[in-house]
Chain A
Amino acid sequence: MSMSDVVIRAEKLGKKFIIGHKVEYSAILGEALMRGARGLMRRGKDMLRGRAVIEGDEVEEFWALRDVDFEIRRGEVVSIIGHNGAGKTTLLKILSRILEPTLGRVELNGRVASLLEVGTGFHQELTGRENIFLNGAILGMTRQEVLGRFDEIVDFSGVEKFIDTPVKRYSVGMYMRLAFSVAAHLETEILFVDEVLAVGDAEFQKRCMDRMSAVASAGRTVLFVSHNLAAVAALTRRGIVMKGGQVIFDGAIDSAIARYSASLSKGKVQRDWGRGHHSAILSAELLDAQGLPTEFYEPGTPFNLRIEVETTDMPGLALELQLRDANNLPVGFYSSTIFSQTALPSRGRHVCTLSLQPLFLASGEYSFDISTNSLTIVVDHAVANAIPFSVAASSPGGIAYDFKQSLGQGIVAMQLASALRIEPRSEQG
């Protein structure tokens, strides 16, 4: 292939953010005033130098991307995978010209469109029809292009009956379907897609995936960012794995997924959690359905955990798990001795594999604390936040409604044991 076939070339790309921290709150008035005065001084200085004002008492530089190099050729379909905070979205934002790189350069050949979320710019007061044109223009389509695909878009979304209704009257499902439909009909030479491969109910999600694979096989250059490994494996043949803002692997998608999974488990092993008097928790992982380490829990599926422990001459130790939500509140508990009458062997290294009953968790961040406890309920070795994980999306009813922790309605979506029955009340006597 000739050089001109390279449509995206990133060279030594780096992005620095400056973030502020709040130092611990002080109840002493004098200290608080001093800190306030120091903050004012710093902000004043920043302003005189023309720098931005950063909230917080201490300022720190943070490299979200570092030395990122890659080339993507015309017609290639590539996925970028990595943990939360690995720099995937930052990279996509630089490529889509939303953020300016701090170092390095990017060369783009061709018309670019990027899809960082669906429904960007949708206005609640406007109708579905009006929003299609608005959103289309925001995504870079001309009026002519939107007009040409209007029927297709409406048809795909399945909301034709409500197309002249303000979108604030739409259900979340309808809203998401319409938003996705506009985005799915973007037709540019280069397309960037961030975590929005599919929305809506199962049937619509299948249509989304079909559409995305049609897009991917239409000879256009597409870059997907996702943590949905199954979707990524189905859509792309090349994968770029990112970690800590750097590219750690670039190659065939199967190897990329393997490398990503390996980097997850490796990260865990390297952590030193110390040890208790008679035991040590060495590593702990949440596993996906394929038995590979993951950071994401799919609501309503069993919790598969693998925990490595070492005990030294202490019989009867219990392995205990504490599930905590994003506010660090305890929301679930398991004890191997109390709940399942199983104690850890008294000596040696062991791998415990647990499969806990499914919970329909709300989307958001969670973690498991792990501890080993002696019979007298004395903690021997405790590791707080041993398995952090997140629930990316939670749709208890199978529709696009995302049941979130932050809604404050609890962390478990209650599921029906049998179909909901609503019947007219029979008049008695």
Chain B
Amino acid sequence: MISTDRPSQRLILEAGRADRQYWSDLWRYRELFFILAWRDVSVRYKQTVIGVAWAFVRPFMTMVVFTVVFGWLAKLPTEGDAPYAVLVFAGLLPWTLATSILSDASNSVLTNSQLVSKVYFPRIIIPLATVMVALVDFGVSLVILAGVMAWYGMVPDWHILLLPVFVLLALVVALGPALWAAATIVKYRDFRFVIPFVVQIGLYVSPVGFSAKVVPPEWQILYSMNPMVGVIDGFRWAILGGASPLHLPGFAVSMIVAAGMLWLGIHTFRRTERGFADLI
């Protein structure tokens, strides 16, 4: 009856003891990660009338509104000869991906408190699993993008092949703050109110509805301290091709900030998670 396929493991539990097996445990629980992700995906559009269509409607309507407000009314410049709608959509893609990860992951430990207080597993699985839901919606948005580009008769060039790299970067940018927030919200529920606010303000601070090129060159580096600037620029570079050259120093700054935030996020999460069950 005893499963002999796994070597017996020896474990020491002590206050403040860093768990050496944490990352191998994470690997051992990979199936839980997939099953939680699958649960969230399959439950997401249950009992809605239009179901998965929501994944189409929301980004499409946002694109329309932004194009009208920033492109037509405010008459902000596009990049090269790219249609404003495509410029906006190329910015919306990473923005929606990153912010839905931030919003969902930051609340995820609390919403799964029932699991946290009853079973052990590396807690980091919970916020990580929310990434999959965001990725599914992202996939749907990519289809819309293809449709919009076809509408304008645009054909992406070789730059598009590097899009997966920028998707990965968007995940990194989102996960740092998301992990930090997920751990901090367990202790200080105040941040449940802070996160939606940050997301709301961030939409205007980040170059989602407009091109980052409208920011004066001397401010570019400072502006790139917002890591979303680098990611959105990267997306536009990949999607619009030559029409949107990448501002490399700014991009580097964004990535350094993102890496720092990821380290802080993981560090905070790992330090706090052993006390989650006490606090929930």
A residues near B (Cβ < 8 Å) are 17, 47, 52-53, 93-112, 114, 116-117, 120-121, 123, 125-126, 130, 133-134, 137-140, 142-143, 145, 187-189, 218-220
- Whether A108 lies near B11 (C-beta < 8 A) is yes
Q: Is B277 an interface residue (CB 8 A)?
A: yes
**A145 contact from B3, B10, B47, B275, Cβ within 8 A:** B3
A268 to B279, CA, bound (A): 34
Given known A123-B39, A123-B43, contact A96–B274 (CB-CB < 8 A): no
Q: Of B63-71, B116-124, B132-140, B142-150, which stretch is located at the interface?
A: B116-124
**Cα separation A151 to B118 with both chains bound (whole Å):** 26
Residues of B within 8 A of A17 (CB): 278
Q: Is the CB of A116 within 8 A of B31?
A: no
Is the beta-carbon distance between A52 and B11 smaller than 8 angstroms?
A: no
For B121, list chain A residues within 8 Å (CB): 138, 140
* Contacts across chains A and B counted by CB atoms under 8 Å: 119
Instruction: Give which listed residue, B11, B46, B187, contacts A53 with CB less than 8 A.
Output: B187
List the B side residues contacting A188 at CB < 8 Å: 2-3
How many chain B residues touch A (CB < 8 A): the figure is 39
Query: Given A120-B119, A121-B115: A109 and B10 within 8 A (CB)?
Result: yes
* Complexed CA–CA distance, A413 and B212 (Å): 69
B residues neighboring A (CB under 8 Å): 1-3, 6, 8-16, 29, 31-32, 35-36, 39, 42-43, 46-47, 114-121, 187-189, 274-275, 277-279
Which residue from A53, A111, A125, A142 sits with its C-beta under 8 Å from B43?
A125
> Is B12's CB under 8 angstroms from A107's CB?
yes
Q: Tell me the minimal C-beta distance from A172 to chain B in angstroms.
A: 17
Known: A99-B278, A220-B2. A107 touches B119 (CB 8 A): no
User: Quick one: closest B residue to A50, CB to CB?
Assistant: B187
Chain B nearest Cβ from A10, distance in angstroms: 9
Query: In the assembly, what is the distance between CA of A76 and CA of B279, in Å?
Result: 33
Complex contact A133–B13 (CB within 8 A): no
Complex CA gap A126/B278 in Å reads 29
Shortest C-beta distance, B69 to chain A (Å), equals: 37
List A contacts of B29 (CB < 8 A).
140
Interfacial chain A residues near B10, Cβ < 8 Å: 107-109
Q: Does A220 contact B35, Cβ atoms closer than 8 Å?
A: no
Partner among A102, A126, A137, A187 whose Cβ is within 8 Å of the Cβ of B32 = A137
A11 to B188, CA, bound (A): 33
| Whole-angstrom CA separation of A139 from B14 in the bound complex | 23
Q: A137-B31, A140-B121 are in contact. Are A100 and B274 (CB under 8 A)?
A: yes
- A354 to chain B minimum Cβ distance, whole angstroms, is 40
Q: Tell whether A52 pairs with B275 under 8 Å between CB atoms, given A107-B12, A126-B43, A134-B39.
A: yes
- The CB with the most chain A CB atoms within 10 A, among B8, B9, B35, is that of B35
Nearest-neighbour CB distance to chain A for B264, whole angstroms, equals 14
Assuming A97-B120, A188-B3, is B35 touching A137 (CB within 8 A)?
yes
Across-interface contacts of A107 in B (CB, < 8 A) = 10-13
